[in-house]
Structure 1
Amino acid sequence: MRKAQWPQALYSALVVFCLYTCLFSFRKAFNVAAFDGYTLWGLDYKIILVITQVFGYMASKFYGIRFIAELGRMGRGRLILLLTGIAWFSWLVFALLPAPYNFWCLLFNGFPLGMLWGIVFSYIEGRRMTDLISAALAVSFIFGSGVSKSVALYTMNSWSVSEYWMPFVTGAVFFLPLLLFIYLVEKIPAPTEDDIAHRTVRLPMPVDARRNLLREYGPGLFLLVIIYMLVTILREVRDSFMADMWREAGESFDSSVFAQTETIISLVMLIVIASMVTVRNNFRAFSITHLIMFAGFVLSLAITVAYKQGLVDTWWWMLSIGLGLYMVYIPFNSILFERFIAAFGIAGNVGFLIYLADAFGYLGSVGVLLSKTVFRLELSWLNFYTTLVMITGAIGVVATLISLVYFKRKSR
């Protein structure tokens, strides 16, 4: 690996990390608020908000299966700015309209934001250093979520911003840095000939190419979609109701706790995923990634059993459960499909595969949130989540092992 690649890779990693951290503030900040006092159709107002945004995000992922797969390379910076601007404007309308009848604004927040990962990833895929760069991009999910919540809570506690204006104000804090990093991401050079030789050329995927890929690797991709659906459900519930679970646990917490736990997880995952750049063989890296995911499910199960028995406190459980689920979630958004395409010599792009997985992942999230709400399960979010971890974690362990065996046989 050439030393000259490192400065460019580190520059790219820093830029996409900062860019996506800014983008996350337009999506996740509102989750820190309780939004008490309102119901709609007999349902809790905050649950309506979460489901509406996730539904918009899910619809975006289904649309993105085609849109991102066929995405060109021109005008991406302007597209990022346009989509973020629509999402930010939706928070302004949300603040101006009376609750609870402003819930629909989150549909127009979630849909444009759901396109952004695929656009940003298209700047960095297909490189020998993609593992390192994508690690930085992927952990920005974790770091950005924690920082946006801490900033949001700070605006309410220190600036006396209401719950309804808080999402728009939080977006305003990150808007100027967002403009800077959109400019900088446009300066990332295209993959070199050496990159293409090692990771295959990355091309838009028309419908025939997508069908051929699914026909050839359908069973294995089906298993990966199931795994991603499970971990997306866990992540979405944790991310949306983390503050509520802290309150239900009866332990004190302040605005810094979200940044603390998510920063630690971000650093650990950055080291784990970035270290994969040292694994030159693409199929070996693909297999190791499966083992990382398997370990993540095992960690989630073990720490939840310990928490239910009172052996660890909420802070350690929240940290460990987050690390476990991100050991599964982050590889999907960084190296898993990147190495899959390179290992099997597929002329396509990562965007199609991750949007395929994302679409069904968020469909599962909507289904779980609706199930708890519509069927009025008499469980607190804390008890509901621990039960969810035990069920999905056990399924995830088995599905990950079967997926690894399938692709090993396919590689022969």
Structure 2
Amino acid sequence: MKQLIKNRNLSEVLLILWAGGAALLSYSLVYALRKPYTAASFEGLEFFGSDYKVAVTTIQILGYVIAKFFGIKIISELKKENRFRFFVGSAVLAEAALVGFGLLDTHWNVIAMFVNGLSLGCMWGVIFSFIEGRKVTDILASLLGVSMVFSSGVAKSFGLFAMNEMHISQFWMPAVIGGFALPLLVLMGYMLKRLPQPTAEDIALRNERVTLDSKGRKVLFLKYAPILTLLFIGNFMLLVLRDIKEDFLVYILDMSNQSSWMFARIDTIVTLIILGIFALFIFFRSNIRALLWLMTLVIAGCLTMTYVSYHYDTLDLSPVMWLFIESLSLYIAYLTFQTVFFDRFIACFRIKGNVGFFIAMIDFIGYLGTVTLLSTKELLNIEVEWFALFNHIACGVGALCTVLFTVAGILIYRKYNATLEAKKADEMCVNAQYSM
């Protein structure tokens, strides 16, 4: 018996190393195809009267938003035998678009960045579909999620290194970095494809994951509409804030006296902290308990973000310490919903569906908000002091999300109790029929 338990624990450790490592590296490499351009300032350039950097960012995100919209259907209905082909095709198209960004002049290469965003919009959902619905999904999803934090800083740092040390132009730098990343990304996709399917124990603990057609998606949303509406609104605000931080951090902070690798160092520390916190949830066998603690964690992150942003002047924080606290608070809240929350939500309420539907929905809504914000700024020709803007938005987002997520947590607890009581009532009816 002891040997059997030992073998099972060993197999779980090997699965975590295999699946978690492949998931982490996969999305890190996706960032290498999507985000290095954010390290460039494109100073003095315009795109039909608009700031060129804002135009590139807005148009890339627009492609991403469109992909997220169609991803609600694509990821929900994507069969496991088609995942790898979709994965490879998306990666190849993204690199081709970056080559186009380097080849074309500034009046046309923005279109290439739209294609880049369009090709990568569904990658998160595809990667998550390989690892969801398992006993160890909390750890696997944590590794996938923190890759987003780590990779953001690393992509910027590689971009700065390529331009400053290798003297690659700011237009060709994304394609060069993407060229190194592409073959490794395909290899990681193949490793995910070769993962064993969820076991009977996985299905018992986390529920079987199935595809969702349009009718199934509608029924699912209506059943949990009050909870999901609050979560979607909150995530909309968190994602807009995260995008402003990622895409315009070189404007928010003065990098003239900082190392090219400062972003990577800060994000690495944030990554390790969040990974450690999320990994602890593997010890929560109770799904409802895990959900309530996750909501508590999110609310704590939002409150911290509000406090630091509102009291920045009196706290007298250094720019590096400010960036660390804001990044940690923001990503704890944001990544909770991008990783472990909806996997536990499905398991808790025994939902017939998959995580991809929920994540595609919150991403579509959030990125739509980012495009709207950036487009409004350019159309109204608003001059922005990025640091002050970020602090104001972070303060408001943290406060509003605290309220939204507190109410959502209460509704989740009440919904669970109502479901439990209904189940007990059904069991009593069945027992009464048998006793007759």
Scaled by the length of structure 2, the TM-score of the pair is 0.91
Deviation at 1:283, TM superposition (A): 1.0
Please say which of residues 393-402 and 170-179 is displaced more in the overlay: 170-179
What is the Cα deviation at residue 59 of structure 1? Answer: 0.8
**CA separation in 1, counterparts of 2:17 and 2:295?**
26
Q: Deviations over 1:157-209 (max 9, x none)?
A: 11110000000011112223223212222221110011001101000001121
Q: Which residue of 2 aligns with 1:163?
A: 170
Matched, 1:108 2:115: yes
Of residues 389, 396, 404, the one that matches 2:394 is 389
Q: Which moved more, 1:177-186 or 1:344-353?
A: 177-186
Deviation (angstroms), 1:75: 3.1
Match of 2:310 among 305, 308, 313: 305
- The corresponding residue for 1:346 is 351
Paired residue type of 1:245? I
1:144 positional shift: 1.2
1:245 is the counterpart of 2:252: yes
**C-alpha distance in structure 2 between counterparts of 1:394 and 1:42, whole Å:** 36
Q: Which runs of 4+ in 1 moved over 4 A?
A: none
> Residue type of the partner of 1:275?
L
Greater share of helix residues, 1 or 2?
Answer: 2
Q: How many residues are treated as equivalent by the alignment?
A: 410
Asked if residue 332 in structure 1 is aligned to residue 337 in structure 2, the reply is: yes
Distance 1:84 1:394 in 2: 38
Preserved contact between residue 95 and residue 182 of structure 2 (Cα < 8 Å): no
* Conserved 8 A contact 1:118-1:351: yes
Q: Which of residues 201, 214, 225 in structure 1 aligns to 2:208?
A: 201
Q: Contact between 2:65 and 2:364, CA under 8 Å: does it hold in 1?
A: yes
| Native 8 Å contact 1:17 1:136 kept in 2 | yes
Return the alpha-carbon distance in structure 2 between the equivalents of residues 328 and 149 of structure 1: 22
Of 212, 222, 234, the match for 1:227: 234
Quick one: distance in 2 between partners of 1:164 and 1:309?
41
Residue 320 of structure 1 is matched in structure 2 by 325
Match of 2:19 among 12, 18, 33: 12
SS of 1:122 mapped into structure 2: helix
Rg (Cα) greater in structure: 2
Structural mapping, 1:76-225, within 5 Å? 76-225=83-232
User: How far apart are residue 24 of structure 1 and its match?
Assistant: 1.0
Corresponding residue to 1:372 among 370, 377, 388? 377
Which ranges of structure 2 fall in alignment gaps of 5 or more residues?
418-436
Aligned-pair CA distance for 1:115:
0.8
Q: Which amino acid aligns with 2:65?
A: M
Contact 1:307 1:313 in 2 (8 A): no
Q: What is the identity, as a one-letter code, of the residue corresponding to 1:285?
A: A
Distance 2:312 2:410 in 1: 32
C-alpha separation in 1, matches of 2:279 and 2:78? 26
Q: Which of the residues 65, 75, 91 maps onto 1:68? A: 75
Q: What is the percent sequence identity of the aligned residues?
A: 32
Q: Secondary structure at the match of 1:392?
A: helix
Q: Could you state the TM-score of these two structures normalised by the residue count of structure 1?
A: 0.97
Which one-letter code corresponds to 2:60 in the other structure?
Q
> Paired residue for 2:291, among 286, 289, 312?
286
Deviation of 1:6 (Å): 2.2
Equivalent residue letter for 1:159 = M
Query: What CA deviation, in whole Å up to 9, does each residue of 1:8-58 have, x standing for no partner?
Result: 122211111111111110001100100112212321010000000111111
Letter in 2 for 1:40: F
- For residue 310 of structure 1, report the CA deviation from its aligned partner: 5.3
Where 1:280 maps in the other structure, the secondary structure is coil
State how far apart, in whole Å, the 2-side matches of 1:377 and 1:411 are: 47
The aligned amino acid for 1:114 is G
Q: CA-atom RMSD, angstroms? A: 1.4
Letter in 1 for 2:380: F
